[in-house]
Structure 1
Amino acid sequence: MSTIAEFRIPAADTTLEATFDRLPELRVELEAVVSRSQPCLWIADAERSAVDAALADDPSVGTYDLLVETSDRLLYDVTFVPDADTLWDRLLADGGSLLEGWGTDGWWQARVRYRDREALCRAHDRLADRGIGVDLRRVTDVTPGAPSTTRLTGEQEEALEAALERGYFEIPREISMEELADELGISHQALSERLRRAYETLVNEEIQPVGESET
């Protein structure tokens, strides 16, 4: 039985504290790449010049290189100085798999899959032993083959499946929302609303599993 853990860790104990302090609206998302030992960073809610200046002055950053620039996000290849405690080094040392990681408002958050709770405990203790303030926010045991249900409507499922199949979630996108809406025979506004409600439903299911009463 594998275990999924959700962590919250202050940037002050790891990396990019100075960058978050300088750009308080900044949002950073980790993009894991199989061929790399560490993720690249998607950065949003800041101008490129401001991000470049912040990374250049951040004492935890060794080098940085802009790989992709879109209308609303920047993808950087960032390496950190040798003595920096990178979030993924400590969390993944026992074979954990990074499912999702992001940073905002001076905090890093991550969802990691471990083969069992013992591996999770070792990762948590490793952070604590380093003096890193780790907040273990949620732990979920995953049983193979367990049945799953969802509150998504048929229209929401159709929109998500089409978006996935046609490359709407790829970086860069392989199809625009307007083109996808045309293929589905609905308006741009209708598709946007279906996807938004689908995202909201999926997030709520993560917070409150199906079968629990809503408050």
Structure 2
Amino acid sequence: MVVVAELEIPADAFDLGRLSQVTEGIHIELERVVPTGNDGVMPFFWASGPDHGAFEAFESAVRGAEVVERLTAVARVDDRVLYHVVWADSAANLTEVLVSNEATILEAHGDDPWRFRLRFADHRGLREFHNYCLDHEIAFRVERIYTLDEEQDAKYNFDLTPEQQSALTLAVEHGYFSVPRGISLKEIAEELGISQQAASERVRRGAETVLQSVLLSRSAADLE
């Protein structure tokens, strides 16, 4: 039976997590990917930062990292840049076990720790992933494990994480989306006790999830 696991992993425990720590102010969000055999996983990721100088410092630090063979900026949208990374053969990474266990990375983002949402074909894959982390002393914290059926039931709640729902509810209740705005991201961050970058991430991802569920979901009646 297909199972989904939501967990936290320290940034210094895996390849991309370590790269997210090389420059202050840079936040990384992995593109949704499916394991592709020899091509590996985690080839593309988005980085958001405060200014052009932060991206220059980030690129310089990443390209100088021993575990990276090549880093390419693919596109830029506002304060976000899409990168493609090629890992060096020497990279000891968490992604190898995800490929071997045919795990699909549904969501992965963070500074420290990182939050992952992983889908496994069965409990065997999840168990082997768990054992790999234990054998390699990779600390992690499980937030939730559920079946695909339970995930579908969660769609009625728009599949928001508790953190996204809290931030988005606060934003809506206090007029963040109103004109003029009734609350700023800084105030939302202070209310939640998190950084402004984290608040922005939760509100943006939460709003995107809700809008996709409402605007992009089609029923049979839509086709008539």
TM over 0.5: yes
Judge which range, 68-77 or 14-23, deviates more. Answer: 14-23
Q: Which amino acid aligns with 1:29?
A: E
2:87 pairs, out of 77, 80, 86, with: 80
Q: How does 1:152-163 map to 2 (within 5 A)?
A: none
Cα distance, 1:115–1:48 mapped onto 2, change above 3 Å: same
1:150 pairs, out of 156, 164, 170, with: 156
Q: Mind listing any 5+ residue stretches in structure 1 that lack a counterpart? A: 153-187, 204-215
Q: Which structure has more helix as a fraction of its residues?
A: 2
2:118 pairs, out of 101, 112, 130, with: 112
- The 2-side partners of 1:149 and 1:16 are apart by 29
**Residue 206 of structure 1: aligned partner:** none
**Residue 41 of structure 2: aligned partner:** 38
**Residue 138 of structure 1: aligned partner:** 144
Cα distance, 1:82–1:45 mapped onto 2, change above 3 Å: same
Given the two structures, how large is their TM-score scaled by the length of structure 1? 0.62
Q: Secondary structure of the equivalent of 1:131?
A: coil
* Contact 1:91–1:124, Cα closer than 8 Å, also in 2: no
- The 1-side partners of 2:85 and 2:7 are apart by 22
Q: Mind listing any 5+ residue stretches in structure 2 that lack a counterpart? A: 159-176, 183-202, 211-224
* Contact 2:33–2:105, Cα closer than 8 Å, also in 1: no
- The 1-side partners of 2:130 and 2:148 are apart by 19
Report Cα offsets for 1:94-127 as digits up to 9, x if no partner: 121111111313x332111112222201111112
**Residue 93 of structure 1: aligned partner:** 100
Cα-Cα RMSD: 3.4
Identity of aligned residues (%): 24
* Contact 1:8–1:137, Cα closer than 8 Å, also in 2: yes
**Residue 187 of structure 2: aligned partner:** none
* Contact 1:5–1:113, Cα closer than 8 Å, also in 2: yes
**Residue 62 of structure 1: aligned partner:** 69
* Contact 1:62–1:79, Cα closer than 8 Å, also in 2: yes
Q: Secondary structure of the equivalent of 1:51?
A: helix
- The 1-side partners of 2:13 and 2:23 are apart by 18
Judge which range, 75-84 or 29-38, deviates more. Answer: 29-38
Tell me the CA shift for residue 29 of structure 1: 1.1
- The 1-side partners of 2:129 and 2:148 are apart by 18
Q: Which amino acid aligns with 1:42?
A: W
Q: Which amino acid aligns with 2:49?
A: D
Judge which range, 139-148 or 126-135, deviates more. Answer: 139-148
